[in-house]
Amino acid sequence: METFSKGGYPRNQLGTRVEFGNQARVRGRDIEPMEPQQGFLIVEDEAAFARSLARHFRKHRPTDIVHTLSEARHALGSGDYIGVILDLRLPDGFGLDLLTQIREAHEELPVLVLTGEFNREVVNRVQALRAEYVCKPATSENLTPFIDRAMDHAGGVEARVVMRVDDMVKEWSLTRRERALLLLSVEGLPRRELANRLGVAENTVKAQTRSLLKKSGARSLATLAQQVLKRASR
């Protein structure tokens, strides 16, 4: 199990940007170049920790790193992100100020606040701004659910369906692959298309389906999909 200690993501404005080859420098700091595909943005002032976080997030989507609020605002103003990981204590300000700005511009953008502090007032504020909160050190088990939800949101999966599927994940102790299969089953896709979307062989889909049905007690994937939709409609 991987263990991390800090991390973050941001949105909008200044930050003088000068290109040096395929790297960018903002206010004298090196930041990693933007990727054309939608991805994650980490706002973290500790470079080594930011890189360790980025290695985990890059397994799923391109990931950019910035170290200050001004760099974060610049990145969010010029980039297109599906999720932000935000440290609270940054050299030029407080992460909650950035989170407030993110919510003003992007009501539904997934944001994960990652910090070593536990302050009840701060936690309440984070929740009021509809962000998630994880205390350091963070583990891959803490980060992966956020990644899944951010990617679901980017893919346009209805929020209620995602919530009900996540309830079932906890109820039946489903694996990540089983969760992905359950979400796709709601679309009524044939096995070949499921395999294509999951990036696996059809026989793998068969095996995952058997495991999913055994855990859930459902007779078929179609029946299970109907169950998800029924719960989501309540």
How many angstroms separate the CA atoms of 68 and 106, rounded?
Answer: 20
Please check whether residues 35 and 94 belong to one and the same domain: yes
pLDDT in tens, 130-181: 899 888 878 888 888 888 888 877 776 677 788 888 899 999 999 989 998 9
10 shares its domain with 85: yes
Residues 122 and 227 both lie in one domain: no
Identify whether residues 173 and 207 lie together within a single domain.
Answer: yes
Asked if 7 and 48 sit in the same domain, the reply is yes
Q: Cβ distance 185 to 223 under 8 Å?
A: no
- Work out the number of other CB atoms within 10 angstroms of the CB of residue 210: 10
Q: Is 205 helix (H, G, I), strand (E, B) or coil?
A: helix
Tell whether 128 and 69 lie within a shared domain: yes
- The last residue of one of the domains, among 105, 140, 175, is 140
Q: How far is CA 207 from the centre of its chain?
A: 27
Q: Is residue 145, in this structure, part of any structural domain at all? A: no
Contact assessment for residue 169 and residue 179, using Cβ atoms and an 8 Å cutoff = yes
pLDDT for position 107: 83
Which residues of the chain fall short of a pLDDT of 50? 1-36
Tell me how far apart the alpha carbons of residues 131 and 108 are, in angstroms, rounded to a whole number. Answer: 9
Structural domain of 95: 3-140
CATH number at residue 171: 1.10.10.10
Instruction: Tell me whether residue 153 is in a domain.
Output: no
Say yes or no: 63 and 176 in one domain: no
What is the tens place of the pLDDT at every residue in 30-45?
Answer: 444 443 458 999 999 9
